[in-house]
Amino acid sequence: MKKENGFLSFLKNPGGIFLIFHCLLTVGTVACSIFFVAVSYTGFVSYIVYVLAALSFGYSVYLIVRFAGTIKKSTVEKLKKREITRRFVENYGFRTIVFSVVSFTINVGYAVFYGIFGIVVHSVWYGALAGYYIFLSVARAGVLAGGYRASKRANGNAQSLYEYKLRIFRACGIFLLVLELALAPAIAQMVLSDSSATHGEIMAIASVAYAFYKIVLAVVNLFKAKKIRDPLVQSLRNIGLTDALVSLFALQTTLIALYSEGEGDMTALNIAVGAIVCAATIGMGVFMIVRAGVLLKRRRFIPARAEESAERTETSVGAVAEDNDENTPFQGGSEVL
C-alpha cells in the first residue's frame, strides 16, 4: 500500500526526466495512431497504441492543469528580463501587432496554397479564396503601416494619434465592405454550381482543428480589444474575425463535399451559412464606417463648440470692459484701492 501511495505521489509531482519521457511517449503514440488511421490498420498493436495514446494524452492534460500556473509564472519572469519580451507580456496592443504579423505570414501561405490548389483542380472557388487571403494580408499590412505612420505624424500628440487611428478604423471598414461584396459572387457561384473541391480526410480533420482554433481565438480577442478601445487594435481583431468566419465557411463546404455523399442535397445549408458569413462581415464593415464617422464628427464638434464659446466669452468680456471704461472713469483708482 505504501508503494502504491508512493507511485501515486510520484505521478502527481513527476520529475524532469519522467516528463521528457512522457512527452516523447505522447507524441509517438499520437503520431502512430494517426498513421494507423491513415493506412486503415486494425491489428492488435493498433489497439495497444490507441490505449497508450489516450492514457498519455489524458495524463498530459492533468500535467498542464497541474503546472500551468508555475510554468506561466516562470515564463513571464524570464520574458520580463528583456525590453521587447517585457512589452510583449505587458502591452496588449504590442502583442496584437506581433500576432498580426504572424497572421499576415499565415494568410500569405494560405493564399499560395489555395491558389495552387485552385489551378490544379480548376476551381474558381479556391481561386477566389486565394485572392481573399491576399487582400486580407494587404489589409493587415495596411493597418500596421498606417499605425506606424500615424505615430510619426502625431509626434507625441495623443489626440491627433487617436484621430489618425479612427481614420484607419474607418478605412479598414470600407476595405472589408468592398472585399466582402467582391467575395459574395464567388460564394454564390460555388454554392449554386456545387463546385467545391475536396481534401483528404487527414487534411480535413486538421482543417477542423485549425478553423475551430481561429474562430475561438478571434472571438476572445475581439472582446479583449473592445475593452482596450484602441481603434488600431480593434481593426486588427476585426480582420481576424473576418478571416475566421470565411475559413469556417470554407471548411464547412469542404466537409460537406467530403462526407455528405448519399445524405441528400446540402445546398440549402451552404446558402444559409454563406449568407450569414457575408451578412456578418458586411455588418462589421458598416459598423466600423459609421462608428468611426460618429467619433470623428464628435471630436471635431467639441473643439469647435469650445472655440466658439471662448470667442463669445472674449467678446462679452471686451464689451463689459468698454462699458465700464465709459461709465466709470475712476475704475483704475478703485482697482488700486
pLDDT at 290: 93
**CA 286 – CA 328 distance, rounded (Å):** 62
State how far the Cα of 7 lies from the Cα of 32, in Å rounded to an integer: 28
- Are 258 and 201 within 8 A, CB to CB? yes
Closest by CA to 285, choosing from 176, 184, 181, is 176
Residue with cell 489555395: 114
**3-state SS of the chain: helix, strand, coil percent to 5?**
90, 0, 10
Provide the pLDDT for residue 333. 39
pLDDT value at residue 328: 40
- What is the per-residue pLDDT for 259? 67
DSSP 43: S
Helix (H, G, I), strand (E, B) or coil at 131: helix
Residues in the chain: 337
Burial of residue 292 (CB within 10 Å: 0-12, 13-18, 19+) is buried
For residue 261, give the 3-state DSSP assignment.
coil
Provide the whole-model pTM.
Answer: 0.64
Please return the burial class of 306, using the count of CB atoms within 10 Å of its CB with bins 0-12, 13-18 and 19+.
exposed
pLDDT value of position 306 = 43
Residue ranges of the chain with per-residue pLDDT less than 50: 1-4, 304-337
The confidence score (pLDDT) of residue 192 equals: 67
Would you list the domain boundaries of the chain? Answer: 2-68, 83-305
